[in-house]
Structures are given as C-alpha cells and as structure tokens.
Amino acid sequence: MSAKIAAMNRKTSEPKKKPPRGLDYGKVDPEDFAFSLSLFSAASARRMNVDSLTRVWNNPPPPGNWLVPSDIPLNRGAFAVLEHCGKDSTRFMRTMTRILAFMRISTHQRMSEWSKTAEDPEAIMFHPAVIETAACALLNSKADFDPAKFFAEVAKLASTSKYSESA
C-alpha cells in the first residue's frame, strides 16, 4: 500500500520550480547612483569627511558590546552613501549593492572600451551608458552583473540618441 501512496504523491507533487534568472535588487535613479558613486569614491579616498563615522571615532561608546566600524575605505564609502540616503534603508541597500557590483565589473577587460583616465591620474571616467546600466540592470543571484548582458546593455544604450554626443 505504501508504494501506491508514494506513486500517487509523485504524480501530484508540484513540478520543480526553475531558479530565478536574476534577482531584482531594485533599480536606482542613474543620476543619484552617479552621485552616490562619487561620494563613495571621495570618502573611500579620504577626500571628504564622513560625519557619522567621525562622531563615532571621536566619541567612542562606553566599553561593552558595541560594534564600532573600523576606519577602512569600504566603511568610509558606505557611511557616506548611508548619510546621503538618510533613513531610506531600501535606497541605501540597493545603491550599495549596485556600487559593489559595479566595483567588481569595473575591472573586467571590456570596461576599457567604455572608460578613460581623467585629469586626476587616480580617477577613471566612465561613459554615461555604463553608469545608467549599473543603476538599472538586473543583478544575478550573487548580486553581480553578468558581463555579457551588462556590456550588451551598455552598447545598446550608448547607441541611442540620448548618448550620441558622449561617445
């Protein structure tokens, strides 16, 4: 009898769900993303102060179970973006997820087609289509951009009349 029940269960069980093609971490406004990326970069390189971190480091909490962020570039940049986003935690998480994904894809060999060095030797200028793609493209389940899809979208955007003068 149990074999018959098992066979019935196999027939009536739900089909396996396909894994998602990519999780939508949410798009962000491209102009706000560009500004947030600039803030992140400036704070990371100590070209600006981050008030919330400065307050913590200058006035450490009393001994106990307090978590005090260390003074590293990633924390300085993230806190600058956090201050910019204010109390909108969803906006902050979406922006930071995209900044980190952008940092990873910015080292891809194909990025050289869409970037150039600026007057400041430590700075890199990206085509505006790269920034818009980073703000709006779908991220995969590992919170990364798929390089083939990312650069295809950049090329598609760059060919539009919106960016015809930026090339």
Q: The tokens 């955007």 sit on which residue?
A: 157
Long-range (24+ apart) CB contacts under 8 A made by 120-123 are 122/45
Separation of alpha carbons 31 and 129, rounded Å: 11
**Pick from 122, 123, 36, 34: nearest CA to 80:** 36
Determine how many CB atoms are found less than 10 A away from the CB of residue 38. 14
Determine how many CB atoms are found less than 10 A away from the CB of residue 154. 25
Domain containing residue 103: 26-57+70-163
The reply to whether 52 falls in a domain is yes
The model's pTM is 0.77
72, pLDDT greater than 80: yes
Separation of alpha carbons 37 and 62, rounded Å: 33
The reply to whether 65 falls in a domain is no
User: At a CB cut-off of 8 Å and minimum separation 6, what does 85 contact?
Assistant: 36, 91, 92, 95
Mean per-residue pLDDT, 50-57: 71
pLDDT-derived band at 70 (thresholds 50, 70, 90) equals: confident
Average pLDDT of the chain, as a whole number: 83
The CA-to-CA distance between both ends of the chain, in Å, stands at 72
Separation of alpha carbons 38 and 134, rounded Å: 14
- H or E segment at 124? strand 124-126
The reply to whether 32 falls in a domain is yes
The reply to whether 8 falls in a domain is no
The reply to whether 81 falls in a domain is yes
Q: What is the pLDDT of residue 121?
A: 76
The reply to whether 1 falls in a domain is no
Which residues does residue 126 pair with via DSSP β-bridges, in sequence order? 115
On the 0-12 / 13-18 / 19+ scale of CB atoms within 10 A, 123 is exposed
- Counts of helices then strands in the chain (DSSP H, E): 7, 2
The reply to whether 16 falls in a domain is no
pLDDT tens-place string over residues 109-167: 999 999 988 887 777 889 999 999 999 999 988 899 999 999 999 999 999 888 776 54
**Pick from 42, 18, 32: nearest CA to 86:** 32
Structural domain total, the chain:
1
The reply to whether 14 falls in a domain is no
